[in-house]
Structure 1
Amino acid sequence: MGRPHALLLPLPAQGHVLPLMELAHRMVSHGFTITFINTHFNHARLLSAMPTTYNTNPSINFISIPDGLQPGDDRYHVANLCKALITIMPLHLEEIIINMMHKQPEQDKPTCLIADQAMAWAFNVAKKNGLRTAAFWPASAATFTSIRNVPKLIQDGIIHEHDGSAKTPGVIFRLSPGIPPMNVNHLFWNRQLDSESNKVIFHCINTNKDSIKNVEFVVCNSFYEAKSRSLIT
């Protein structure tokens, strides 16, 4: 039996790619082979940023797929990026998985997919093709908890169901006794550039929360002691 082979898929944003890259290197140190899947745009940036050291670790293979945007589109507009990703990336990810499963030797075939929680559509693609799945959350565990509790926030009258906006701006709430209080204005889907972007991000969150139900693990880039301070400010 060969080394376990994991496919890693980040959301194509710097604050998401870098933490997952760190996880990739740590997994290699534990005996994994990694295929790291970037968008074409971020793959080119990676090549440009480290031309002399790129892929010096033979256990990490970097490949890329389209992100659904046109060359001149603004990839820093989060709402437009999220809408584009879901239109084209699932087909290309499935094509990669199928090719690997059919063309690589048995000992080199991928065994699992670890994808950013924001790319939760990928878990359905992976499970359809026989891969085990795990979600990666690159930010605070408290933020991940707020996402997982969207139905409770709606049920308790904290946010609106259609766009996640605050029913009472500035209200303070607590999800559970072990979590510091939070300000509804600071929920991350309410802190985008405009109300339409807020709505798109919230819609993506609501879609993803169902796809993530069947993953076997969730890995957070966090630790308990980092969450001990209040989240009100």
Structure 2
Amino acid sequence: MSSASDQEKLRPPPPHVLIFPMPVQGHLNPMLKLAHLLCLAEFHVTFIISDFNQRRLLQHTAAFSRCPGFQFRTFPDGLPDDHPRSGHRAMEFVSSVANVTVPLFKKMMIQENFLASAAHRPVTCFVADGLLSFAPDFCEENGIPFIFFVTATTSYLWALFRFPQLLEAQEIPLGGQLY
């Protein structure tokens, strides 16, 4: 007769999901919610976040302290702390993520055996923000199952799909006209 600890040893390790959002608040929040749900299902989760955003989130991540399978991995986004990361300078941020964060991420994934550790098995699934175009090729090259997660709200998607009708009805100001 086998004991409970013997059965636990025979149980396969939980899946290890890597989550990589675009490092801006509107993308981080839905991905953090997904990470929390996966942790509740006893998955191991590694969440990729910029150093800048991690400093801002530290005070709001108490929910993950109860999740032994959760870990943050931080990377620089390549911009100084005083950079606004939004508005008219948002494209500088997007370019910096592509040129600084993504290469560091790829290097870490290879060097650290896809984040395998004593506490976590290698990544078994990669959930990437829909804006991270490098992810499908990286996953295909390395045999990692992949999911694009689009963080857009329903109101954004509605406006996107209804854009032609909104233009036709002159509901969207053009040429600098504001209501």
**Short-chain TM bin:** 0.7 to 0.9
> 1:10 Cα deviation (Å)?
1.0
In structure 1, the gaps of 5 or more residues are 150-170, 174-180, 195-233
Q: CA RMSD in A?
A: 3.5
Alignment of 1:57-206 (within 5 A): 57-76=67-86, 77-98=89-110, 99-101=112-114, 104=117, 108-140=121-153, 143=156, 173=164, 181-183=165-167
Q: Which residue, 10, 24, 30 being the options, matches 1:13?
A: 24
1:38 equivalent to 2:19? Answer no
| Structure 1 counterpart of 2:106, one-letter code | E
Of the structure 1 ranges 52-61 and 86-95, higher mean CA displacement relative to structure 2 is found in 52-61
Relative CO higher for 1 or 2, CA cutoff 8 Å, sep ≥ 6? 2
Report the 3-state secondary structure (helix = DSSP H, G, I; strand = E; otherwise coil) of the residue aligned with 2:48. Answer: strand
Alpha-carbon distance between aligned partners in 2 of 1:23 and 1:65, rounded to the nearest angstrom: 20
Q: Which residue of 2 aligns with 1:212?
A: none
Cα deviations by residue, 1:160-179 (Å, 9 ceiling, x for unpaired)? xxxxxxxxxxx962xxxxxx
Percent of paired sites with the same residue: 24
Higher radius of gyration, 1 or 2: 2
Deviation at 1:141, TM superposition (A): 5.2
> Quick one: distance in 1 between partners of 2:146 and 2:43?
15
**Cα deviations by residue, 1:28-68 (Å, 9 ceiling, x for unpaired):** 22231100110110111112x24866633212111101112
Normalising by structure 2, report the TM-score. Answer: 0.72
Q: Which runs of 5+ in 2 are unaligned?
A: 1-11
